[in-house]
Structures are given as C-alpha cells and as structure tokens.
Structure 1
Amino acid sequence: MGRATPDDTTWGIDSEHVGNIRTRLEFGRELTRIRERAGLTVRDVARMVNIPVSTAGGYFSGTHLPPVKPPDILVRILGACGIDDPEMLDRWRRALTRARRAPGPRRAGEGTPYRGLARFEPEHAQWFHGREKLVADLVERAVANTGGGLLTVVGPSGSGKSSLLRAGLVASLSDLGWRPLILAPGLRPMLSLAEQLAALTGDDARKIAARLSAEPHLAPELTPPSDADQTRSALAGERIAIVVDQFEEVFTAGADEVERQTFVTVLAAAAGLPAARDGAAIRPGPAALVVIGMRADFYAAALRYPQLAEALQNAQVVVAPMGEAELRRAIVEPARQAKLTVDDGLVELLLRDLRPPGDVPPDVAHDAGALPLLSHALLSTWERGGGASLTTADYRDTGGIRGAVARTAEEAYASLTPLQQQLARRLFLRLVHVADDVADTRRYVPHTQIRQAGDGVQDVLDVFVGHRLITAQADRVTITHEALLTAWPRLRSWIDTDRAGLRIHRQLTAAAETWRGLGRDQSALYRGGRLTIATEWAAEPDHHAELDPIEREFLDASIAHALAEQQTARRRSRRMQQLLAALTALLVASAGSTAFALQQRAAADEQRNLAVARQVATVANQVRAKDAALAMQLSLVAYRIAAIPESRSSLLNSYGSPTVTRVMGPPGVMQTVAFLSNGGLMAAAGSDGDVRLWTLPHAGRPVPVGEPLSGHTDTVYSLAFSPDGRMLASAGGDRTIRLWDISDQGTPSAAGILSGPANTVYSVAFSPDGRTLAAGSADNTVRLFDVTHPGAARPLGSALKGFTGFVQSVAFSPDGRFLAAGSADTTVRLWDVRRPLTPIAVGTPLSGAAKTVYSVAFRPDGKALAAGSADGNVHLWDLVRPDRPVSVGRLTGPGTWVNSVAFSPDGRRIAAASSDSNLPYAPPCGR
C-alpha cells in the first residue's frame, strides 16, 4: 500500500476515526479496521513486527494496549498496515495516551451516575449528592472570607473529602464567579502550586516556583508587589480560592522539609496570615481563600507548623460520617437522574450492609472509609445491569459492600498470567507508602519508574486501569483510592508480609532520587548501617527484582564506594605496620651501636627515644578506635622504646580494651558466624554463598581450613554446629539447607542437602541430642528435619505455621523439650518437640516486641527466654511454667535493631549485638 497523504480522502477518514478514540476497546477496534483494510491477518502483523501472535491479538481485540516506546511497537504495527505519515502517527500516539488514561469503556446516554473508587470531579457535580449541607457550610464560610483566610477540611480516609472539595466546593464557587485553583501537592508541592498559577498568569511555572521559594512570606504571585507602578498581580481583584486536596502528600510523597515549610508559608501568605521575618511582623495583602483537605491521621504532622495549627484550631470543618438520609440521597438521586430502575428493597439492603456493628449513635449510618466501597458496589451493580437498572441480584453478584472491590480486584488479578501476577504484586507494592506513625497510604509514581519495573508491566497496568483500580494520569500512576489497601485481602497480605522491607525500599527509592538529583554526588551515597540494611534487604532475590535501574545503580555505587573506603583504610593500616617495622628496625639499630657510641651519645639517644616513644604512643591512641590490634602492637613498641607516662598510659588503654583479631573474609557482606562448642573451630559465611572455616589453636591466631565450602547459589544467612562437633549446617537465600561433615576438620566434605522451604532460610539450629535440625524461613514457617544420618536426612511431619511474617530465628531449649521461633510479625512462638513428628504448640504467642524479632535464646537452665527485636530492646520471659510464660520486662540500651542475643554459660549475663555498633552486656531479668 502506498503512503497516505493529507490530500487523500482515506487520510481524512482515518484522522477523524483516530481522533474519536477514547477507550481501549475503541483503540483495538480502529486498529483492526486499518489491518483489515491492508489485507493482513493478525498472524501476518505479528510476523512483520516480530511479536508473539497472542500479544498482537490482544492489541487488535482491545484486551490490552501497545507499550509506550521504547520499543515503539505501535509505530511498527502501523507501518506494517501501511501508515507512515508523521502527522497520522502522532495522532495515533495521542489516541494511545487517551486510551491509557481512560478508566474503562464509556457508557451511552447521560454518563456514569456512580464513580466507584474514583473521586467526583467538578464536572461530575450533577451526580454528587448527600453532602448538600456540608457543601453549603463550606460555601458560606468561603463567601464570608472574600478577603482571604485559611480553612481546613479534615476527615478520615474514605470519608469523601476529595469529592466534597472538588464536586462540591469548587463547582459551587465556580458557579458563584470565583476562580478556584485545585491541586494535590505530590512530590513537588511548590511546582504543583506554580502550575496552577501559571494557568492564570501565563508565566512559566518553574519561574513562578522559584520566585515563591525566594520570597515565600510575600507570596508575590498572589499579592501586588511593592512596585505597583511597574507590575501588578495577575490575580488582583479576583476572588481566588486555592484548594489543596490530599494535603497529607506533603508528608508522604517525598518532599524535603525545606520545601514543606516553604509551601506552608506561601499558602499562609496567600491567605493573608501574618508572618514574622527579621523580627518584624509581616502581613501581606490577602488575595485568596486557601482551603486545605487533609486526612485526620496526619494531625500530629500538621501541628508542627504554627500556621496550620492555628487554622486547625480556629477554622476547621470536620467531614463526619453521613447520616441515613444523606446516604439515601447519595444512592437514590444519581439513579433517578439517570432514569434507572431500582429494585424494591435494594436501598434498604445497602443501608443495612453499611450500618456499623454494635451500639453507635443513630445519626451514624456507616463506618469511616466505607463510602468508596459503597460507590464501587453501586458502580459494579450498575454495570452488571447494563446501565439500565440496579437490581438486588446484581448487587449480590458483586459481593456486596465489603466484597465488590475485592471481587473486582481478584477478577483482574485472575485474568493475568503467572508472570504478570508477579509483576502486579511488584506494581502495587511500588504504589504504596508505608510508615511507622501513620496508616498506609497510596503514593504517586512516575510512568518512567513503572516502565522500569519490568517487561510487560504496562500490560498489567492496563488491566487494572481498565477495572478502575489504578488511575493513570499523563505523567504518573496511583491506586485509585486508599480503600483498596484494606478492602483487597491479597494486597493487604502483600503489604503485611514485608512491611519492614517496604519501608527500606521506600527509603532507598528516595535516597536514589536525591543522589540522581545531586548529579550522583558521592556524599549522598549510603554508608554504614543504612548501607548494611539496604544490602541485606536487596540480597533477597524477590527484593532485588523489585529494584528499578536507578535504585540498583545507587546501591551498587554505595557498595563500591564502601569497598573503596575499606581499601583505603587497609592501606593506612599497612602504612602503620610499615611504620612499626621501621621503628622496630630503628630500635634494633640503636641497640647494636657500640658501647663507645652509646656512652658518647647517651643523652641524645635518650631524648630521641623519648620523642619516638611519644610519637608511637600518639599514633596508637589515634588508630585504637579503628584497629585495636594494631594499636596494641604500637603501644607495646612505644613502651619498649621508653617507659614514659605517655607510652605506659597507651599500653594500659590498649590492654584495657577487649582483645580484637581481625579475620579477613571475601568481598561483600558477612552474614553469620558460628563457633564449635569447645571453641576450637569457627565458621563464617555471607553474600558470596561460600562457607569458610578456621581452626583456633591459639587465641587470636585463627588458621584457615582448606578451600571454602561451596554449593550455595545465594547469600548464606545462618550456620550451626551439631553438639557433637561432627556436622555443620548452612542455609540461606537459595532456599536449601546444606549439611557438611567436619569430623575430620582438615578435610570437610558435603554430607547432604535438605529442601522444602519456599523462601529464604534465615535460621537453623540443632537439638541438644543432634538428631533434629530446625529451620526458620521467609515462607513464614519452621520445618524440622531428622539428621541422624546426614546422607539420608528427611523432613519430620509438616511445617510449623501460625506466623504472618518471616521467621528470623529458631532455638532449642537446653533439654531439647522446646523449640522457640521469632518472627517479623513481632511474636515468639513455643512448641513442645519431644515428639518431633507431632510438635505441640505451647501456650499463646509471646508478645511485647513492637517490631521484628531477630533473635531468640534460652537461658542455660531453660527457665528463661530472651528475644532481640528491631525495636531496640531485649525482651525477657520467665519459662518456669512453659505453658504460662510470664513477661519479666525488657532490657534497653541499644540505639537500633538488636540482631542477636546470647546468655553467658552461667546464665547471669546477656550479650546483645545491635546495629548501633555497640555490644551491651547486662544482667538478665527473671528467676
């Protein structure tokens, strides 16, 4: 087919058809039309474009849309069908963008009466009912504040704040002749505000943002500048309302504190609130009514800003639950306007399903957060009725108020292939913000990050956009409503399973973006504990797959920089050792001088030795914090050169510190170390997957044993020696447990491989008799294995379940009767394992920790249990009655995560290792 030109009639027809595309189905239908006109089959196009036939079929049927370039598959498909005109290609690209943004197929007639999880916008005001009284109150307050002012609208998530502000207040103010500007802060609140102002002034948004940031107290774009003869505000004389919806994004979307403070100051100045600068009060000319909509659980964050605190105290509108009459209007009025047939009794059934359980005030007709669920159930019922009726049968088929969202989400999820389902999990977790002090929230993610999440993620996104569960805007993507976070059990379980990991990932994302924004400045890289935590998290294969390219690049750069610093430190250490050798040689040379020379230069030598001793003692004191072993050697040399107060003090300081011997391992993170009970053998392993052994014939002089034990294909997280010292167990990220025969320490060998865990194994432990091995895994289970014969080891019974988070640590009691396991769900569980084939849960889970339990340990007499937690505490329980454990308090001191705990042999002390680089050693509580 020849190239179409703008003069061709066909070109004009095509142009009109493409310009009318709004939905995915319309896109597929028009794409099919041009394919058939070119005389091609789907298989022909797939072959010409070099894509699977099933994928091409999905594009032509409207099941999913071609991805955004690169690669530009749409252009290749159009080229195969004979369309290569640049203007026509551009029209097709714009049609693809429109189809991606659309939440689903359009309905004929008067429009969609219900919005589902999506909010009501100003153009949907005709369908917005039930909040007439609250809208009237807001409008009255606005009219009374024509000279400016700051008004806050506060309510829980799902109470309808966004719809109230947009379809209620903004639509009403527009009818009254106001100029409302509505925005959501997002990642760059100042730029979001500037973009709204630019639409009025015609100026560049970035220039406006820069001017506002430079003089936030004066808000120059909203008030007349000082030199009124030269310029005046584009808004002077206008009745302006600045409506900031979802104000909580200021705290969750990633803006830094400087931009937050600037944004709040500009809003306060725009509202005419006084501010102080250079000791003087400033009251800019009021130009706008500022209305802030915010979730109630962000009160504490907002109260840190005086301007907001005053508004929350004096000018606040609370969005309370709707009464029964208001709910009835919200259900019935849109149906009446759309001329729908409504089954008798359906409205009463809806009201009954919404009514909160228990005793509640009569004017409270629903729980907080239930309105989006009602709206989605109504929309689903309307769609099942073909847009003509609302029937009780269709409503029940949706799953009702509580089940409609979950059913829609599950239907979308079930339509995906197994690989796409993995991408869906990755996609939704990227769209969630998790924090310690507030409820989970949705977050906005740029399209570029979404496309980097993996090949095929765009098709997955299209599916959920088509079901209105995700909203795709021109530049970013977000979950349509936060109600989905609690209404869809699968998403809730995804979040709860790896809550700590999500926080780590969000922090890593923000750090990587900051690093990129600073031109990849090394000062912005991770170091120390933050790098260790991020590296350990990313070592999990599933977590590593969730990283986008900039996050991987940032983490790799941080690791490389840390390794370079370590190498620099080693070079400094070597220079110190060379100094030691030189000083020692100087001492030997001095001692070998002739008696005559010593007599002649006795006084000079004494002064020189004193100076050298002082210098070496000073160097020893300087390096002691970084290299205790080298410091000890230098202190001894200084003392031997001259027993002066400085060298004596340095020597006493060195020997007063714990003896340290540094054992050099492979590059990367070392995750675990274990010692044989007699102290004669040490094992260590980490991110390279190999297990290394050292014998300890003399304290402080470890001797490597042969070659590393290889076999694991991922990070090794746990090692354990059997009580008889003949076997070593190792386990980690490859989901296997390997047994090693170390009866001949000189030639250790592989003895067996155990499988069964469905995720990373974080902890292994032998029973006191050495016959049973316990393994705790990230699949939220503990498994027991009979290892009496290592070469024929076998599972014992079924996995021990009950945890809702990763199992981080397992330990047997000294008598072998009980097994304890700590988990990321903050609990510790006990089992009676005297019959390992049929373990019995003992009592209820032990609680008290506020965060992940990383380590558990029994006291040597078995009558007490300690647990180290990420909340920075060691929690203790009395186990005199194992079926009724008694909490005996907690040990505080560590500044951050407690990664490991251990009792002294006499049970009178506890050592706790934490991520603050300290090792507290304290007397335990309990009997």
Structure 2
Amino acid sequence: MVTLREERSLTIRQVVERSGGSLATLGGWYSGRHVPTPQNSKAFFSLLTACGVIDDAEQARWWDAVLRVRRPAAQRPDETPYKGLDSFEPEDADWFFGRQDVVSNLLARVEVARSGDASRVIVVTGASGSGKSSLLRAGLVAALDVDAVITRPSLPFPTATAPVLIVDQAEELWSPEFGSDERSSYLDRLAAGAVVVVGLRADFYASALAEPVLLRALSAGPLVVGPMSAEDMREVIIGPARKAGATVEDDLVDVLLGDLIPAGSTFASEPGILPLLSHALLGTWQRARTPTLTVADYRATGGISGAVQQSAEEVFGTLSPAEQTRVRRVLLRLVTIDGDTVTRRRMPLAELSGEGSDLALLQRFADARLLTVDEDVVHVTHEALLTVWTRLREWIDADRAWFVNHRILTQAVGVWTESGRDPSALLGASRLGFYDELLGTGDRTEDLNSVEREFLDDSRIRLHNDAQVERRRARTRRRLVGALAAATVVAVVLAVTAFVARSDALDERMAADAARAQAESRQIVAQALALRERDPGVAAQLAVAAYRRSPTYEARSTLLDSTGVRAPSRLLASDGSSVLAVSPTASMVAVGRGSGDVEMYSLGDQFDSLGRFTVGIDVPVYSLSFGPNGSTLVVGTASGVHLVDVSNGSDPQVLWSRSTTSSVVGLTFSPDGRQLTVGTAGPDILRFDVGPESDPVALPPLQLPSSTRTVVANSPDGRFLVATGSGQSMRVWSTTETDRLVVDTPPDGSTNNILALDFSSAGDSIIAGTTGRQIRRWAVTATGAMVEQPALSGFTGYVNSVAFSGDDEFIAGGSTDLTTRVWNTRNIGAGATTLPGPATVTSVQFDSSTGDLVTGDEAGTIRRWSLPGPVLSDAGDKVFTNPSDAAGRELIGGAGVRGSGAQFWDLSDIDRPVLRAPLLAPTPGSRLTGASALSSDGDLAVVGTDMGGFQLWDTSDKASIRPTGSVSNAVQTLTASLSFDREADTLAVSGQNASDVALWSVADEQQPRRLASFVVLGLPTVLAYNPIAPLLAIATSSEAVELWDTSDPGSPTRIATVSGFDADASSVAFSRDGTTLAAGSSDRSVRLWNVQDPRQPRPQGSARTTAAVMSVAFSPDGTSLAAGISTDALVLWDVNDRSDPVPIATLTAAQARINDPAFLAGGDVVAGGGDSARIHLWRTKVDQAVDFLCGRAGSVLTEDEWNDLLPGVDYDPPC
C-alpha cells in the first residue's frame, strides 16, 4: 500500500481527501497498526481507486491479500455488534441503541415539515462526538417511510432527488473551500428542494445564525443532541450484545458507567465519549470467549484507557516529524498542573499560532474524538487522554516546572492584552530575568506563541528604557559627588562615599524586595482575573491579596474592579456534594451532605455554625425541606425520611424516622405543616400526617404511571398537589376534594425529565427545572389547570434546582453547566443574570428575610448572593445615561429603544439597591432613546423619546412614582441629551444629528412650555447645566465646548467657547461647586478648565487615555474624575491638583463601554451604565474596597487553595 501511494507521489492526507475516508483509519492502515475489516471494505476500495487501482479484478486481488494477513477472529465468526470509532451508517440501524426518544422526536419534526406545517429545514445540533452523524444515518434514515439522500457539503451536491435530504457535518460550509457566496448558494439550493435535515456541530451555532436559511430553522428551534442519560448509556452497552444473542454482565455495566459518567453526575455522559465507549466494547467483544461479556474481558483490552491510547497513537503516527513537534507544543497547552494533579484546560483558540495550521493539527485529533473544538476554545474530550496516553504523559512528566511557569506567563499575557497592553502590566526585572533564564535552556522559546513573545519583548524594552533613566541618574549623582570632593577635605569625601555606598546597597536591597513583591502581585492579579468569570468570590480575595502584596496600579485597579462584580459569601465544603434548605422564618440554612450529616448555619456574612446531626452513617442526604413555621426540618436520604426539631438550631433533635424502599428525592409540606408528601426515585408518592402526634400517620399513597424520579410540590394555599415524573409527565390532585385528579399529563415521549418544582408565593405560577436545559413555567388557574408559559432558556446543562424569591420578584435556576441564572419576573424579556461557579449547582433557594439567593454545589460549597448586588439588573437595552440626585441616593437607568422603560433605583442603602416600580415608560406610540435626567433633589425625572419629545415623572413619593406632563416634539430629531438647571425649572433638550438645542420651562410639570431654541456650531453631543449658576455647557462635534448664559432662559447667549481638541468633544461635566469644567474627546483626552469667570475659561490640566472618551463625571467633593472610554473601561483620576491629574485605577468589570458615570454615596461609589445594559457600582476608596470584599467573603482562602492557585508565592490570608 505504501509503495502504491508513493508511486503516485501522494501523501496520506491526499489519499484521504481523494477517497473520502477517515484520516485515523487510513493512517492506521499505512502505519501497519491494523488492517481493513469487512465493515470498512468500502473505504479500502475507495483508497485503491484514489491510488489508481480501478480494475475490479485487481481490487479483488488486493482484498484477498487483506484477508490473508488479517489476524483471524479466534472466537466470534458472527457479526460484530459494536462499531468502534466508526460512525453508524443506515445499514447499521439494527445495532443502533440509546437514542430512540431523540429519533422519535426528529421523525415527528420531519413529518410535520413534510406536511407543510413547519419550516422545511430542520437543524440537529450537538457537541463534537455527541452522536449526531449516527443519529441521522442509523436513526432517522431507518425510521423514515420514504427515501432519503445523505450528503456532506464537501461532497458534490446530490443530483438524486428524494423527499428528505440529510446534510451531515454542515460545519464544512465554513471551511476554506467555501466562501460566503458559495455557502449562501449551497444553502439556497437546499431550501428550494425537499425537507432538509442539517447536522451541525454546536460550536458553529453562532456562525449559522448569520445565514438566513439556517437562521429561520434555528429560530423555529433546533433539535439538540445532548449527553446521554445513564439509562440510555446502559442501553448502548447492553442493546447490541442482546441483539447478537449475547449478554453483558451487570458488573461490567456498572464498571463502564463508573468510567464514563462524570463524578457527581447522575445523568449525563461527557460529549465525545460515545465513540471511545464503542471502541472499548468492540475490543471486549473480540476478546470474549463466551456469550457473556465480562469485566475481565473489558479489563484485558485496557478498557476506555486502551481505546484512548490506541486512537491517539494512530493519529500521531500520521503526522510528519515537524508536525509531531508542533502538535506536542500545542497539546501541552491543553494541560493544567496543580501539584501532582493533571487536568484538562480549555484553551482559547486565540492562543494558537501558525495561521490556522496548528488548528488543523488539532482538528485531526478532534476527528478521532480525542479533542473537542468549540466556538472559541479547544479541550481534551476525556481526562483519560492525560493519563493513559503514554506519550503525552511522558511529555508532561518531562518538565512539570516549565509547565507551571509557562501557564503563569500565559495568565500574565492575558492581563496585559485585556488591559489594552498597559505597560504597567509588563514583567518587572526579577520576573523577566527568571523567564529569560528559563527560556535560555532547551528550546523553550518555540513553546511560546506570538503574543507571549511580544509580551516578553515589550517587557525587555521597558526594562531597558528604565535602566537608561537610572544610569542618567547615577551619572548625575557621581558628578555631584565629584564636585563635592573637589571642595572638601579627603575625610569628608570618604565619609560621603561610604554613606553613598551604604545607601546604594540599601536601595538595591529595597529595590529587589519591591521588584519581587511587584512580580508576585502581578502573578496574583493574573490569577484573580482568570478566576473572576468562574469563581468571583475567590477572585475577590485574591484581588485583596495582590494589593497587599504590592499596591501597583494594576493591583489597585483589580481590587476596586472586584467591588463591581457579584461575588458571594461562601461556606467551604466539609465532605462533598450538598443539598440545602433555607428556613422560611429565620436567616438559617440547613446543609445535607453525602455522609449523612446535616449542618445548620446562620445566614450572616460569615456563616456561623449553629449545630449538626446525623441521620445515618454514609447514607447520602438527597433532599431537605423546612416546615412552614421553620421549627421542623424533614430530611430525605437514600433509604428513608426523617423529621427533625430545629427550633433550637444549635441543638437539633430527630423526632422520627421512616424507611423507604427507594431514595427520597422530593419533599413538600402542606401550608399548615400537618401533611408531608414524599417523592421517591420511582413512581410512588408517600404521604404522612405529621401533626402534633409524636409519630407520623401514613396516609394513602399516590402514584404516577411510571417514573424514575418523582418531584412534588404543594400550592401555597394547600389546594393542589403537583407531581412530575419521567418524560415530563405531570399529575395535579385537588387536596380539598379527596385527592381528585385535575390534571393528568402523560409522558411526552422525550428523554427530558423534570428535576425540581417550585410554586410562587402567590400560588398562581409554578416552575420546573428540566433535563431539557430550561425552566418550564405554567400559570395555575383557580381550578388547578396548568397553562404553559414561555420557558426560560440559556442553560447548557440540566437545571437541577429552581426557586421563586419570597416576593416572587425573581426566579432562579441552578444547573450542571456550573451557573445559576436569575430572572426578574417584572421584565422576563430582559434576560437572565448569570452567577458563575466552579462546580455543578445542586440547590438554589432564597432567604425570605433578606432576599439573598443561597446556592449549593456538588463540591459541597454553599454561597450566598446578594441581589442585585453591585450589578443592577438588565435594562433591556444599552444604558445611555444614568443620572443621580445630588445626594447620590437615587439613580435612573436610561435604556435605549429596545428597553421597556427607564429604571428608577433607590440606593439609600448602597449595598441593597431597590428597583422602584413602575418603569419610567414613554407615552403610547413612542419609544425611549436612553436620554434621561434627574433633578438635584430627586423629585423630578425626565426621559427622552424617539420622536424628539420627553416625558416627565413625579418621583417625590418613591412609593408612588407617576407620570406628569409630556412633549411630543421638543426638538427636530430623536432626543439625545437632557439636562435640568439647578432648580429643575428649566430643561435643556438636544436631538441627534441636528444642531438645535431647546429650553423648556418645566416649573409646571403638567404643562411644559417652550422658552427658546438656538443652534450650535456643529452638532451637540452632550448637555450639562452648572449646578450653581444659569450656565449651560454643550459638547459639540466641532471639537469644542460652548458655554451659554441662560439667566434669561427666553434669550440664551453664547458667552464662551473652549477648544483644543483634535476631534469631537464627546462629553462634558461640571464639578459640584461649579468652578471646574471637564470635557472628554474622541482624541483620547480629558481637559479641565476653571470657569469661575465663565466668560473667560482658563485651561488647567489634561489627561490622556488609551481610547476615545465617551463620558466624564466629577465626585461630589471634586477631587476625583471618572471617564468612560471606548475600550470597555472606566478610568478614575485624582484631580486634587487640577493641573496634574493622577490615574487611580482602570475598571473593566462591565466588559462593555461605559456611557455615563455617576458618583454616589458621597463619592465612595461610582456607578457606570453602558453597552452591557447593566449598571455597575464600584467602590472608589481602597480601604473601603478591602472592607467590602473581606466583610462578605465568608470562608477565607485556605493555604491549600492558595498553594494550588499560586505555587511559589508565600501564603498570606487575604482577609
């Protein structure tokens, strides 16, 4: 075969491309590791054709040669039931198991599409290795009662016609072979014909949204091929053997599930694992010598590990020596080392070099299901690759120290790039010297990507420049010493020389210590930023530690920035996965552990321990529920249910226990606390009377038709009991009518199950967390009927737990995707707030006394989240303005046209913001533009409309905010800027893309009256009234700020113009005392003027930024200035000395442009709203930031956590 290929001057990849075969399969044949099998004979004949062997007789002789060299199957002459790494084909349908529900769902969609009642294009999507191709080929094609044609974009467009066209691997449309025109043409041809089913890898979802044909299909709802449940996995293992007349011993099934299902998960397998399972089963089948596949057979093949090792070596063997060297460097970036532990790392594709060639190498491993390539990251499909692939393990063990230090360098580079390549984020002398020494050994430089090399080069340049400055200073010192020597006696010279020497030595030691502290501070900052999106509580503690290690600019920035991020208080795990319940009457939480222990804590910032009890040694606690009065707690375990008196949380007493035949997975009390309902890991629903009697009285049980997990919930008024089971089945009983069944919804045939239920406090709504990655919602009628509402989506994993807040304002869901998502029920359409975490969320519940959200995860850690915290909830569109009153106690969030209204926030308690109702909405027929203003006393608000008008709101009574007067056409175009004068008697209004400015009298709120209109040179961008004088400042596109005297508002007069910008003036603000004017420009500058005499403004100072300035604001005392810049940052300066502004910090937590900063709480807090549609609240004082973060930290970062995160840095508890 090798000779045949070389005679044609073909590479292996060229043979693969010509034959359409698999690189892993053909590469294995050429390397001699294995030979073709009857199952892949078609691929072998295609290979021969690609190499020029086209005669049938000649091909038959080649196949005879294959049969002669094949190792005989010693034990099984019959058909092989497992496919190994090969995808299923239509002819394999009889051997296809475990996806029957998904196939049925897809078949139903196809039938609806064929009838013309739905989109004729159906998208099937899922992660790499989730089984999409097999589902389409062996599942759908076999189930159809009509012909279907299967193709891929890389193949010629099919000429054959059929009622159904299946396009597998549609992600090929975004390969280099397809330009945008070719892609659009291909999709248009698809849409013009039969019903089309498109298989699309999930990481191409966003790309598909840009294509109209696919957008329509995705809008109608894709069919998602998710991870398999444990039961489906069991069928994948057992089904093929059963059909072949064999069996799989139960112990082997358990071993396989244990090897495959992620730790802590009851339901899901990992994406990409199915081919590896199939490969291991194939080896087990081939080795078994009896009709029963055993654990011994499986172990003898090497199991999953053996499959991974063989597959990895096959791919690696197809690479050239140069490619093998490159792939080694790239694969090692997918590894994280913490002490002795080696784990997978999700590597951003941006880290790759080689103009796509590195990605092409990784794609070969992805094709073999060993790596998973998502939209912007790549990661190892299964942890087994890190431990069982001998070659990779040897690479890792060869130099672990370099790995750790390289990863730290990568994190530092991330900080540098995220800061806009801020020079202060570069390496100092000691750390740079350390890396230069490391890179000088071996061939380490080749391990760096281009950005890492640039980072080190820029660090060297900065260090060189700093050294030149220091040398100039040293020469000056020497000249001074020389002059002194010429003028004094020798003894004095000697004394001075000795003093200088001692001072220089001390300076050098201090400089070395400072450099080391700075380097460690930067290392801690890098880790804090890396953790912020995953574990913000730990990241906040690291921010404190970084500043205390060395108060560098980046450390101070990270510290202050951390106060603008939702960070929870945490209670560290004691022993594994947890479930929790929050008392309805007191700030107390019960935490159930896998050990059988239940712990009681207060819900203060530090989680004070109250008590602890055990319901059974090593009997996992699966569910908890407090009674309505909070004095009793019921505990559900793997073997029973227990009622506990917790009226004294420090001394819980078990009142009674009852055994159950299956695990207790759901608990609910009746509102009066007399009846307890128990859901089990089966169809049974147990009920007990738990009134004042010491022992419970069993009541007649209820039952679902069939279920492996029964979840239960009582309505708050006690009228209805809801139970859900497998296939999202539901039954509702009227408990006031002798358990009359009022709703009976059978299983829907899907694989989706309901995992959790919760009623709203009002009892008119119920929500359900599902394995379908969404929260289902129903309105509950007076008769108990369930009217389904739009589901809440966005999760990428199962929704394990759901909860309403006590006032029904929030809905929360905790998921296996490591997040908790929270919706505001007043504005569901605004989307969810996402609370990140490092582990699967197992429980969510609200504290009714504070409104805080409490979550538990599979690592056992409990977190308390204050809502909304320092991130004010989504306004529905970009926040263009967020003005405050003079006291900084009230704030408006002015959202754009897609928002449903401007938000009015009560910030009298800055730690617990309250969103007042109603939203400041426009008059019917118009929409808001985001322009808004608030009077200095906070009693009058105004919002701008898209018709050039405005709407006034009386906000003097915060409990009863009401609209007053409105104007439909105050200016010619949509209202862009609004500003009240000091008394809120006059309102200035400007429009977008028009030169006019209008003044309106609003002294009579019900009847606004036009006073005057005038034009400025250029276009007005922002208006700002002086807080103590009738002076209006107007920033304009003519690179200037105009000052207008409005002492006679009916006849305003331009009295001065300040300029000096090189681009438009985009923002303007006065200091609170009215003496200083600040203006920002697109030329990346902020300039200050003294305007005590507004007719003759005097320039004072200026500051440069790294990007266009979009907004400016002074603190109340005028000593600080904030500016929002176009690179998604808010910059703070100390402007005590107006002539020399000093940078304080750069805040980037919003991850979006800040359109309008506002100082609150006497200047201790700065608010910033912008393109994220949210408003962030940051502390501006370092000491207060430390107190804020540490006061809410809960469990302090432990020494073990520190050493894992910061190897080589001495432990120093942050709080």
TM-score, normalized by the shorter chain, greater than 0.5: no
The two structures have a TM-score, normalised by structure 2, of 0.32
Q: Larger strand proportion, structure 1 or 2?
A: 2
Q: Larger helix proportion, structure 1 or 2?
A: 1
The two structures have a TM-score, normalised by structure 1, of 0.41
